[in-house]
Structures are given as structure tokens and as C-alpha cells.
Chain A
Amino acid sequence: MSAPDLRVQLGSLQLRNPVVTASGTFGYGLDFVDYVDLARIGGLSTKGLSLHSHEGNPPPRICEVDGGMLNAIGLQNIGAEAFVRDKLPRLRELGATVIANVWGDSDEEYEAVVERLGSEPGIAAIELNVSCPNVTRGGMIVGNDPDALTALTKKVRIKTRLPLIVKLSPNVADIRVTAKAAMDGGADILSLVNTFVGMAIDVHRRRPKIGFTTGGLSGPAIRPLAVRMVFQVARALPGVPIMGIGGIERTEDAIEFLLAGAHAIQVGTANFRDPAVSMKLVDGIEEFCREKGVAKIGDLVGKVEVRHAGAAS
């Protein structure tokens, strides 16, 4: 059998394979060049970029929990301008497919950062972060209100011709509602999910382990929740390109998301545990397809066989 075709088409965004590294877990890509050939993975999503640099939350910012971690970094980043000047040229040389993850603390700032990056050569797509749980303005506050999300998506939609990905928060009663709201605003692609709001307490000192009190839960612990949400959105909005995110580490985890209805996946927290995990996933997915006689990766998308939708209906 010839090599399986791993190429993925998400609206107008083409990726060489379905493995993308998730925002906030891959820096601006360049810290990984000792471990990952950036031209071999499907793409990378940058640390959330704002128009100007942002210093983030006071520490402590992270703690480990069973099966993952909590973080409240608070979107520390170097700003769009510094990214374009200091990081993007090298990323282009390395052949990386760059997705610029962006955020603002007001609609105007979201618009401004999308406008700044939305026609920059070397950026393949914009990912709108409307789901960060660790800031007090912007982020999840916008993304969890369907009307505000539609309005914001419309505003940034007209600022760029690049494919527009909206990254959804799982901290909602029904993610299909916000998924539809983002599509109504003109999103091309949905990525889901961001982290779940969690909390951990140091019982000896009687204080939260995270300085922000709450933090976003990520890692294998959230995978079944994320798979269910991808399944729900895929069923509710057939044909909408989806990137599945949540605790992916092994090949089987990635395949699970594809079967649930994702066209591509993003690997996040696992990058911390194994900096080369994204490349291993590309190899693993290819091997899986070979073994199962899958000619095109797209043949797996949404192919979970269910008799009924369970509680996901």
C-alpha cells in the first residue's frame, strides 16, 4: 500500500497532516527546533498574541494535578509586533505552518491584533482565543456569551482574508450554542476545547495552589470530556471543519478525536512532557492508517459508529 494521504483541508486552510501544536504549549515554535522539525508537523498555534506585550499573572501559575495540570499563566506574550519582527522570519525559513493565536481585552483590541497579523506573509490562519479562563477581561468572558461571540467574530472577520479559527471554551452548559454563535459570526474553523476551569488547594497552607485561585485544567484528565464535545459539535454542525483538542498524547488519542468528528487535532500539555510528541503523533497516525488500510486521513473523520447519541444528543 502506498503511503497514506495525511493532508487535511479545513475550509481554505490546508495542512500537511492533522497534527497541530496547541497555543500556550509551544511558545512561538522556536524553542522546539532541537526536538521537532517544524516542517513535518501540520502546524503550530502560537502563544496567544495581543497587540502589545502582556506580562501575565503573578506566580504561582501552574501546579500538577492527577492526570494533568492547572495553569493560570494569564496570556503572557511578547506582542504581535515583536512576534512578526523576531519570530516569524525564522519560522518561515523553517517551513512552519503558523497559526497566529490572538486575543484582546476589548473588541477593539481583538480587531486591531487581527488586522495587524491578518495579512502578514508567513501566517496561515488566525485563531481567535475567546476561551482563556485566566484573564479578567477578554478571553472566556467574551467566548461564553453567544451574542457577544457572534458580534466579535463578525468584527474580526472583516479584518482578514486568512482562515479564521475560533477556539471554544468548554466552560459552558452547551458548547453547540457557542459553536453555532462563532459560525454565525463568520468563523471558518472551530477548535475545541480550551482548558476547563479548575482549582486545587494546598491543604497545609490552606490556600489555592494557583495565584489566580482558579486555573485551566489540561492533560489526559480532560480527554473524554473533550471527545464528547467534539462529537456533539460535529453532529450539530455537519461539515464545519473542527480541530479537536484535549489531553492528546498517544496516537490512539488523536484517532479518537478524528473518529468523533475532528478533521485535525491539536496537541497541548503533552508537549511539556515530551517535546517531540507532535512528530511522534504524525508518525503514529501514518502507521495507524497503514495498518488499518486507511488511504486518506479524512476517511476516519466522524466515523465513530454509534447506535444512539447517548447524553450527547
Chain B
Amino acid sequence: MEFDSSEDRWTLPDRDVRIPPPVPAVDLATRVVRNTPLAPSYFSLWMRAPEVAHSVQPGQFVMIGIEAGLRPYLRRAFSVAQVLGDDIEILAKTVGPGTAALAEASVGTRVTVLGPLGRGFDLDRIGSGETVVLVAGGIGVAPFLITTRELARRKITTRIFFGGRTQADLVGADLLAEIAGARNVVLSTDDGSRGVHGRVTATLASELDRGLVAARLFACGPEPMFRALEPIVRERGIRSEFAMEREMACGFGVCLGCVVPTTEGHFATLCKEGPVVDPSTIDWERCPR
């Protein structure tokens, strides 16, 4: 299916995401098929990547390179946000030379896409009638579009807590509401410009205290959100998975740059042993602040 270039709306894929078993990553020399600015400094970038689109699992990522030039030099890691036919989407916020180059990429720009990489969320063995809770902070929402769609396909009830500093940071909120149902999406902003006034972790904690039962909790967001969330899930014994991020040079386990300290005293690579990890295995005290 091709994009209609006259259609400027950020559209919802009409196809279910089917999840095959993990496959070896492929490295594709391909092109940008669509680039849509979403809010100040956010953008949605679609690339043709059939092998990835047909096999990616929610929470997995790709390494994307812009072929020309030395700045950025390394590829950048992005969660796959959505798939449509042979195409994959990433959602990103411009923060440095890598995201800046991708933000400016036009349709037809050559890119390299290596993936699918890493370990995604465990969506198996969730009982009917159980609720999966998703916690997203800012651009950490990216992996939850594909995840929410897959949970919806499996008819699993999903409750989504999505927070940002301000309303412009709630990119994708309407799309999540479309997929999961508006009443299942709880928005919050630090400045109160949209949704509940306060931190996403506070909103979550108060619902848990009022009786929300989370069979499983998936989270993705900035480091301070993980730090605030970790005691909340630990004290309540909620089985949780955090999709974490570190600077990565390779994305497939060799540069050893993207490590996090584990409670066993080792360093685990987020690219291979993650990016989705069990927070109870991470030594949060030894994580750099």
C-alpha cells in the first residue's frame, strides 16, 4: 500500500500487527517514504523496510543511518512505532545531529535500516480479563503504538498512562485513544496544559491505590520516570518491563556502549539483552544520573 502524498494526516494503519517468532536482523539500504512533522520538534518518519515490517515485535528497535556525511556518523536507535504493509514508522524528537538529520529527510532520502533488533515486550500468557498497564513519558510513547495495536488485536484490556511536560509532548495521544478507546487513556502534563496536572507516575500510583490491578506493566520514557516508577511497581509486586534507552554505536551487542548495571554486578547490553528489561534486575543505584 502506498501513501497518498496529498494526504497530510497522520494516519492509523488499517492492518493488524501479526507477531511471528523473532527473525535474524537484516540491513536494508532503503528510502524514506514519508516524513510528517507532528508537534514542535517531533516527527513521524516512515521507511520502506519489508523484512522489518513483517517480523518486528512490539518493543523491538531499528538502527537507522543517513548515508551521506560524517555528522551524524553512527546510526541511531529507534523503537518501531507502527507498521503498514512494507513500511515501518519511527516517532522521534529532535535532540541532536542524528535526529536533526532525520527530521529534515524528505521522501526518497536514502537511509539504512538495520533490524529488527533486541528483545521486545512479553505479550504472551496474559489471561483474559486481565489488564495490561502501559506507562509512557514523552517520546517514550513510540513503542506503545504498535504494542497497543497488538494488545487490542488480542482483545486484552489495556490502560495507558501517558505523561509529558506540556501538551505538545503528548504526541500520539489521539492515536492511542483511537486504538485503545479514549476512556482507557489517561493523559497528564507537568504544567497541567492537558489531562491531569502532575507526573504520569503520580497518576498511575493513585489509580493503583484506588484498585487498578495491573497483570503486567510496560513502561517507556525518560530516566527520571523509570526511577520514580521502579519503587511503585516493586512495592506492589507488579510484573513489569521497562523499555530503556542508552547511546548505542552498533545495536547488535558488540560495541558494549549501551550497558546498564545489573543486580548481579554485571553490565547488560540494552541492545541485545534489552531494550526491554525487567526493572528488578537493574541496579538503579549504579545507573548514572
Contacts and interface: CB of A to CB of B under 8 A. Distances in A.
Interface residues of A, number: 34
A55 B246 CA distance: 18
B74 A26 contact: no
Contacts of A275: 27, 114, 250, 252
A79 interface: no
B96 to A, nearest CB: 8
Contacts of B249: 62, 64, 69, 71, 269, 272
B72 interface: yes
B267 A273 contact: no
Main secondary structure of the interface of A (DSSP, over half): loop
A271 to B, nearest CB: 7
A198 interface: no
Interface in B219-255: 246-250, 252-255
B75 interface: yes
A239 interface: no
Nearest to B259: A59
Interface size of B as a range: 35 or more
A243 interface: no
B68 interface: no
B71 A67 contact: yes
B114 A71 contact: no
Contact of B254 (A26, A63, A67): A26
B286 A58 contact: yes
A146 interface: no
B261 A67 contact: no
A73 B98 CA distance: 22
A76 B253 CA distance: 12
B1 interface: no
B288 A58 contact: yes
Nearest to B272: A31
Interface string B57-68: 000000001000
Contacts of A273: 65, 73-75
B112 interface: yes
B38 interface: no
B289 to A, nearest CB: 10
B70 A66 contact: yes
B266 interface: yes
A220 B265 contact: no
B260 interface: yes
A211 B74 contact: no
Given A26-B254, A62-B247, A275-B27, A56 B74 contact: no
Contacts of B65: 273-274
Interface string A49-93: 000000110111111101111010100100000000000000000
With most chain A CB atoms within 10 A of its CB, the pick from B25, B266, B267 is B267
A219 B69 CA distance: 13
B257 interface: yes
With most chain A CB atoms within 10 A of its CB, the pick from B72, B73, B75, B267 is B73
Interface in B90-120: 97-98, 112, 114
A27 B257 contact: no
Contacts of A274: 27, 65, 112
B247 A67 contact: no
Contacts of B25: 34
Contact of A220 (B72, B73, B255): B73
A71 B70 contact: no
A38 to B, nearest CB: 14
Contacts of A61: 256-257, 259
Interface of B: 24-27, 65, 70-75, 97-98, 112, 114, 246-250, 252-261, 265-267, 286-288
14 contacts: A25-B254, A56-B256, A58-B261, A59-B267, A64-B72, A66-B73, A69-B74, A220-B70, A272-B255, A273-B73, A273-B75, A274-B65, A275-B114, A276-B27
Closest 5 A/B residue pairs (Cβ): A62-B257, A27-B254, A272-B249, A272-B250, A34-B24
